[in-house]
Amino acid sequence: MIHLGIIGYPLAHSLSPRLHKAALQELKLEGDYGLFPIPPQHEGLQPFQELFRKLRNGELNGLNVTIPYKQSVIPFLDELTPVARAVGAVNTIYYHQHILVGDNTDVPGFSADLEKVLLSIENKKPGLLEPIPSNALVLGAGGAARAVVYALDRSGWQVTIAARRPEQAEELIKSMGLINAFNQKIGVVNLDTFSINGVSSEIQLIVNTTPLGMAPNVDASPWPDGSAFPKRALIYDLVYNPPETALIRSAKAAGLFTTNGLGMLVEQAALAFERWTGQPAPRQVMHKAVVVF
């Protein structure tokens, strides 16, 4: 019996149970996937320690981590994978050879899905987004931005972070070691109309890592009013509920290619499932389980 689950708060909206239950069923593995919501006001040693005790003694075989605990869980772990250590955030935990390991599958999950989307665009409109990789604009500087910025930087993109609090973006860059005195690759601008208009014309990729547009606030958008979209760009919104956000609607109206975060959600889940079970994840089945919700 395989026991899996997710820690975070809130969790009522989570699609992780659908993804992993579908994978378990497809592979004919007996198991379950539970929700472990811990309200922030109750955050402390005991709730975390109890879950990690279950991981160590085999009562739990794998644990996902989501907002707001991707960094809070780190002190409770024995080891981080190189990616998790570099990003400073964990979304997948497993027990291996008496060691409690924290991993981050958001990074390869985002990279794999972005590559898939870009290939699809190239097949439909050859040369539309050339040269790729080139200039990317990341909206937001929170936890989700860490994985995206790291993935883009490692893939050769020139990244600019647009944040309402630029100091948060500067701290993100510093803590991840992405710049130094000799190689100032990551730029930072204010997430406002004036600043965005100053950089957007050279952008081939815009990634929204903020929660703006997520249900129930479906009319909100991180894109500042009065800012023009680049003439040729892909808009990648990590929000997947609703499937078409206000940002995506605006970008489509401007004639741009768009995608939401559902592909990344499935891919990061598939990678976590493979860490836990050692078996190839049935990605098509997992995607089908959440494509309509």
The Cα 238–Cα 240 span in angstroms is 6
Structure tokens at 58: 């085999």
The residue with tokens 């937001």 is: 140
> For position 133, what pLDDT does the model report?
87
The angle, 0 to 180 degrees and rounded to 10, between the axes of the packed helices 143-154 and 106-124 is 60
H or E element at residue 55: helix 45-57
The residue with tokens 């089945």 is: 285
φ, ψ of residue 10 in degrees (nearest 5): -80, 170
Q: Are 36 and 65 in contact, with CB atoms under 8 Å apart?
A: no
**129 pLDDT above the threshold of 90:** no
**41 pLDDT above the threshold of 80:** no
The Cα 150–Cα 156 span in angstroms is 10
What is the full DSSP assignment across 244-275? S-HHHHHHHHTT-EEE-THHHHHHHHHHHHHH
> For position 181, what pLDDT does the model report?
40
Condensed to tens digits (0 to 9), the pLDDT of residues 161-206 reads 999 999 999 999 988 887 544 455 789 999 999 999 999 888 999 9
**216 pLDDT above the threshold of 60:** yes
pTM over 0.85: yes
**56 pLDDT above the threshold of 70:** yes
Condensed to tens digits (0 to 9), the pLDDT of residues 69-122 reads 998 899 999 999 999 999 999 999 999 999 999 999 999 999 999 999 999 999
Number of residues in the chain: 293
The Cα 190–Cα 162 span in angstroms is 5
The full set of domains in the chain, from first to last, is: 2-104+268-290 (3.40.50.10860), 108-260 (3.40.50.720)
The Cα 145–Cα 140 span in angstroms is 6
Share of the chain above pLDDT 90, in %: 78
Phi-psi region of 68 (alpha: psi -120 to 50; beta: other; left: phi over 0): alpha
> For position 280, what pLDDT does the model report?
98
**Three-state secondary structure of 198-247:** HHHHHCCEEEECCCCCCCCCCCCCCCCCCCCCCCCCEEEECCCCCCCCHH
Q: Are 28 and 83 in contact, with CB atoms under 8 Å apart?
A: no
Residues with catalytic roles: 70
